[in-house]
Chain A
Amino acid sequence: MCGIVGLYLKNPELESRIGELFKPMLIAMTERGPDSAGFAIYGDEVGDGWVKLTLRHPDAEYDWEALATRLKNEQQMELSWFQNASVAVFKVRAEEAALREWLAEEAADVLILSVGQSIEILKEVGLPEKIAENFNLEGMKGSHIIGHTRMATESAVTMEGSHPFSTGMDLCLVHNGSLSNHNRLRDALKREGISFETQNDSEVAAGYLTWRLQKGDSLKEALEHALEDLDGFFTFTIGTRDGFAVMRDPIACKPAVLAETDDYVAMASEYQALTTLPGIENAKVWEPEPATFYVWERSSN
């Protein structure tokens, strides 16, 4: 039960302002989700052969420098890293699988919030305004961004249970609604090798997409399968490396609004989250259809 916001820039000149444009959108959804908030920002891409990870550790004083040093010395991996409040962003020249394996072995307590070439996922318990401040959202640059404010329904209010959920390389998902068959689905997905951190229904949706994509589905195919296999109520927004996608369930009780201008496409649970965008007065504004899939991406890959 939540608020969703997304902003995809068509005009590259706005990329230096994406954080500033997005921050009020996230804060406008405070009432829909006062428990936790988060966002996935796409930008600052690493080159081929490199991966970017957003990492977090339960210990706020965790020594990221030591971790970086070990990767460099023991694994001879080229890397750079920086800390942003409670998370560290590592850019490493390595294969994703090898890096994940090493982290699981050597730094098991480190949580991987996102993996990709572009994505960073930043999320935390608390009010959206505080979270935006903590991560310095306002100063961020990027091509697109999706965010979420959470009103927890059944699972605990934790950072892990906050959205967005990573669903694979440069992919993430945010959800508004309530799934009704996630427990059995979680069990089935666990047997397929998908791991889960929480009892959250939305994490199951994310895990489901991860699984479908691993099976070789395109994003569109994965979402079409999701329509068949997920029961309950949902509006999803999915972040991809090149853009974002929006989908509502066939019952379509949970709200969503889209707006488009020459400069951007924006999505929100409520129109009031869009009112601070430049040129919104003259934007094309509409409500996405039920069981219909909307995608904005820079290229078709």
Chain B
Amino acid sequence: MSNDINVNPGLRESATFDRTTMAEIRRAADSGIYDIRGFGAKRKLPHFDDLLFLGASMSRYPLEGYREKCNTQVTLGTRFAKKPIVIETPVTIAGMSFGALSANAKEALGRGASMVGTTTTTGDGGMTPEERGQSSKLVYQYLPSRYGMNPDDLRKADAIEVVLGQGAKPGGGGMLLGQKITDRVAQMRTLPKGIDQRSACRHPDWTGPDDLAIKIQELREITDWQVPIYIKVGATRTYYDVKLAVKAGADVIVVDGMQGGTAATQDVFIEHVGIPTLAAIPQAVQALQEMGMHRKVQLIVSGGIRNGADVAKCMALGADAVAIGTAALVALGCNDPKYSEDYEKIGSAAGFYDDYQEGKDPAGISTQDPELAKRLDPEDGGRRLANYLRVLTLEAQTLARACGKNDLRNLEPEDLVALTVESAAMARVPLAGTTWVPGQSF
């Protein structure tokens, strides 16, 4: 913090009761309600930065950049669907609702994703025509609330994602505070305008994998077995959840680590529930491998993915694709310093803003205020997102080529080493320069 310089060095801040902690205690004492915010986990977690690639040198040969092919195309939903989805880059856009985001932001996500040939995903609250119109490949989320769920949109979707949970809040339901329940959002969700909307944590008409199997069959019947059915889970008991998702009949499994973002959730949930993305992937892959379903049921990983290295590391650990949410919003302009003054006016700062629930986003993304929403031009936003997605793809390709791979999916855990004991244990790769994988005995 900038004002740290001015603090008398003789004063000692408590590591336990630091200023953030004390501010939260005061806030709780003032308001009597838990802190609700957007964004994902902010605490430091073992992450992809703790992994490094072993580039080729003598024992392996690298591929020539730009000339020797490195495939990035992935097909999702090859298990049961008549029409699997082919994406040109393994980076997809995670589910974010119209309501949480402005119509312009949703349109920009659709435009950006379509430009690079990948999917975008609806969220809680239904499908907007803008989004469907601008998204060449659209995944329709099927959530506990079923806000805006209707069979016409279901049949228009390119895939259906049954959401059991998300990384920011496994076991919790959604929230959308009154400021964002405008006429249009209220109408789409059949809610009174301006209420603080809560979403259920469990689906209303099935509980458990045995009943989910029947639900999936229903969705397939309604859509005549055309499109893939994804199951999305927040990362917790990932090994078991992935096995059960396969047993329940999923085509694709989406595992969202605890760094995954949210529009509005209790802070205590965001910071204290779930496991890091890094720890979830090997569990998911192990489950798939044990069932003989790795690569047959595709695995999409999300939660804190920011650059091509993160993408390549996910793939090396065994994912078939990744999904980005927060990073996509940043690409559109979320937390951009050009709005510094506006952030300060609402008591935040560029780079710190997480009050998506308030709908006052100076970048015009997580808002339903028409004036603020105008700040985001969907065409420009789409171009920015497309650029960013291309960079992620190129970066991942660069790393894959350096490891001698002609396909991103040929990256392996053996191409990785870990910098820390924690990350080595979680990712199940050796500590750099050793053959030691903590927790594994050979």
**Real complex partners, A and B?**
yes
Whether B240 lies near A154 (C-beta < 8 A) is yes
Whether B247 lies near A151 (C-beta < 8 A) is yes
Partner of B209 from A151, A233, A255, A269 at Cβ < 8 Å: A151
CB within 8 Å of B: which A126-164 residues:
151-154
B191 at the interface (CB under 8 A from A): no
User: In the complex, what residues of B have CB within 8 A of residue A6's CB?
Assistant: none
Report the minimal beta-carbon distance from A161 to chain B, rounded to whole angstroms: 13
> Given the known A-B contacts A31-B213, A154-B237, are A254 and B207 also in contact in the complex, defined by CB atoms under 8 Å?
yes
Q: Which residue of B lies closest to A177 (CB)?
A: B208
A34 at the interface (CB under 8 A from B): yes
User: In the complex, what residues of A have CB within 8 A of residue B237's CB?
Assistant: 154
Interface Cβ pair total, 8 Å cutoff: 38
Whether A3 lies near B210 (C-beta < 8 A) is yes
Partner of B208 from A35, A154, A254 at Cβ < 8 Å: A254
Per-position binary interface string of chain A over residues 244-262, scored 1 when its CB falls under 8 Å from any chain B CB and 0 otherwise: 0000000001110000000
**Band of interface residues on A:** 20 to 34
Q: Which residue of B lies closest to A233 (CB)?
A: B207
A2 to B244, CA, bound (A): 12
A31 to B207, CA, bound (A): 15
CB within 8 Å of A: which B161-217 residues:
202, 207-211, 213-214
A176 at the interface (CB under 8 A from B): yes
Whether B210 lies near A1 (C-beta < 8 A) is yes
A269 to B214, CA, bound (A): 13
User: In the complex, what residues of B have CB within 8 A of residue A237's CB?
Assistant: none
A19 at the interface (CB under 8 A from B): no
A32 at the interface (CB under 8 A from B): yes
Whether B244 lies near A153 (C-beta < 8 A) is yes
> Given the known A-B contacts A1-B244, A34-B247, are A153 and B213 also in contact in the complex, defined by CB atoms under 8 Å?
no
A254 to B202, CA, bound (A): 13
A33 at the interface (CB under 8 A from B): yes
How many residues in B have their beta carbons less than 8 Å from beta carbons of A?
13
A117 at the interface (CB under 8 A from B): no
Whether B240 lies near A1 (C-beta < 8 A) is no
CB within 8 Å of B: which A198-257 residues:
233, 253-255
Per-position binary interface string of chain A over residues 1-45, scored 1 when its CB falls under 8 Å from any chain B CB and 0 otherwise: 111000000000000000000000000000111110000000000
Q: Which residue of A lies closest to B212 (CB)?
A: A1
Report the minimal beta-carbon distance from A157 to chain B, rounded to whole angstroms: 9
User: In the complex, what residues of B have CB within 8 A of residue A2's CB?
Assistant: 210
A253 to B204, CA, bound (A): 10
Whether A33 lies near B208 (C-beta < 8 A) is no
A178 at the interface (CB under 8 A from B): yes
CB within 8 Å of A: which B214-244 residues:
214, 237, 240, 243-244
User: In the complex, what residues of A have CB within 8 A of residue B244's CB?
Assistant: 1, 151, 153
Q: Which residue of A lies closest to B209 (CB)?
A: A1
A152 to B248, CA, bound (A): 12
Whether A33 lies near B207 (C-beta < 8 A) is no
Q: Which residue of B lies closest to A253 (CB)?
A: B207
A34 to B209, CA, bound (A): 12
CB within 8 Å of B: which A168-203 residues:
176-178
> Given the known A-B contacts A151-B244, A154-B237, are A32 and B210 also in contact in the complex, defined by CB atoms under 8 Å?
yes
> Given the known A-B contacts A31-B213, A34-B247, are A153 and B207 also in contact in the complex, defined by CB atoms under 8 Å?
no
Whether A253 lies near B208 (C-beta < 8 A) is yes
User: In the complex, what residues of A have CB within 8 A of residue B213's CB?
Assistant: 31-32
Report the minimal beta-carbon distance from B292 to chain A, rounded to whole angstroms: 14
Q: Which residue of B lies closest to A149 (CB)?
A: B210
Report the minimal beta-carbon distance from A151 to chain B, rounded to whole angstroms: 5
* For the complex of A and B, 4 pairs with smallest distance between CB atoms: A253-B207, A32-B210, A1-B210, A1-B208
Supply 7 further A-B pairs (C-beta < 8 A) apart from A34-B247, A151-B210, A254-B211: A1-B208, A31-B214, A32-B210, A32-B213, A33-B210, A153-B209, A178-B208
6 pairs, A vs B, C-beta closer than 8 Å: A1-B210, A3-B210, A35-B247, A153-B209, A178-B208, A233-B208
Residues of A at under 8 Å CB distance from B? 1-3, 31-35, 151-154, 176-178, 233, 253-255, 269
Residues of B at under 8 Å CB distance from A? 202, 207-211, 213-214, 237, 240, 243-244, 247
